[in-house]
Structure 1
């Protein structure tokens, strides 16, 4: 370290300018409360502007959710937390508790359990795909109703459409990838 200071002093005497302070002295805080902030050349980014609240004439937010072959049309409005799917309550339509957990994940992440009523119609696919489509639709509609929640819902990955679909069957194969039984002789 002393070699660096000596070489800086030598350079300063050659250029007839005062020697700069040692680099290690700059990074040390001056007192216990003062901590030197690192200087960066990157421009300061402003936070993304909030999107507008999008509501229909009845004060509901509408969105479409998709998963596998299922398509869900979802309306969200302030209420008591009742979720209705194709005219039936969620406990009746999705009898398996795991499917109900999938639907209610969005409200758990945003800490809005029991604050919104959801009405949706679902077509196509099986129960698992329909539950995923409803979850996707609820998350889209909730961010249209409350744009502040968009960051947390997006961070959880609920706004992204799950593009995985069943791979098609190929000719010469038993299924998509499974071959017919092979006989050597």
Structure 2
């Protein structure tokens, strides 16, 4: 791990976001608006999907801070959608940790709400969580 990221690993400067199986550790650096996810360019990691990129930058844009910070993320688990929403929650939480007045702006919009829906477990006798085998009368 490079020294730049090791300097960032302080408990008070981390935003943790979770969604489904995805866990994102988010760091904000003073910069000009770059996104780095797992040491890869954010645009490349999110496959140049504008919806995903807009989700990640939404909390910063709401506070008019999008060109003042670089976002550095370490994310694992889940798929791209879950990871993107985990990053968004991590960014919003970190912004609230940095400046307490940001909370009153981000909370009504829903950026600080953890979406707790996860995959339901498979039950025995069924094909998936709720899908049953076809019923045969004879």
Q: Which has the higher contact order (CA 8 A, sep 6+)?
A: 2
2:34 corresponds to 1:82:
yes
Q: 1:66 aligns with which of 18, 21, 37?
A: 18
**1:17 match:** none
Q: Distance in 2 between matches of 1:108 and 1:173?
A: 46
**1:168 match:** 121
Q: Distance in 2 between matches of 1:76 and 1:104?
A: 12
**2:107 match:** 154
SS of 1:172's partner is coil
SS of 2:105's partner is helix
Larger Rg: 1
TM, length-normalised to structure 1: 0.65
Q: 1:145 aligns with which of 84, 98, 101?
A: 98
RMSD: 1.8
Q: Distance in 2 between matches of 1:114 and 1:154?
A: 22
**2:89 match:** 136
Give structure 2 stretches of 5+ with no counterpart. 1-7
Q: Distance in 1 between matches of 2:63 and 2:13?
A: 16
> How does 1:1-185 map onto structure 2 within 5 Å?
61-95=13-47, 96-185=49-138
1:61–1:142 contact (8 Å) kept in structure 2: no
1:74–1:137 contact (8 Å) kept in structure 2: yes
Q: Distance in 1 between matches of 2:67 and 2:118?
A: 32
Count of residues paired in the alignment = 129
Give structure 1 stretches of 5+ with no counterpart. 1-55
What is the CA distance between 1:57 and its match in structure 2?
9.4
Q: Deviations over 1:86-137 (max 9, x none)?
A: 0011110001222112111212222222121111100111111111111111
2:19–2:115 contact (8 Å) kept in structure 1: yes
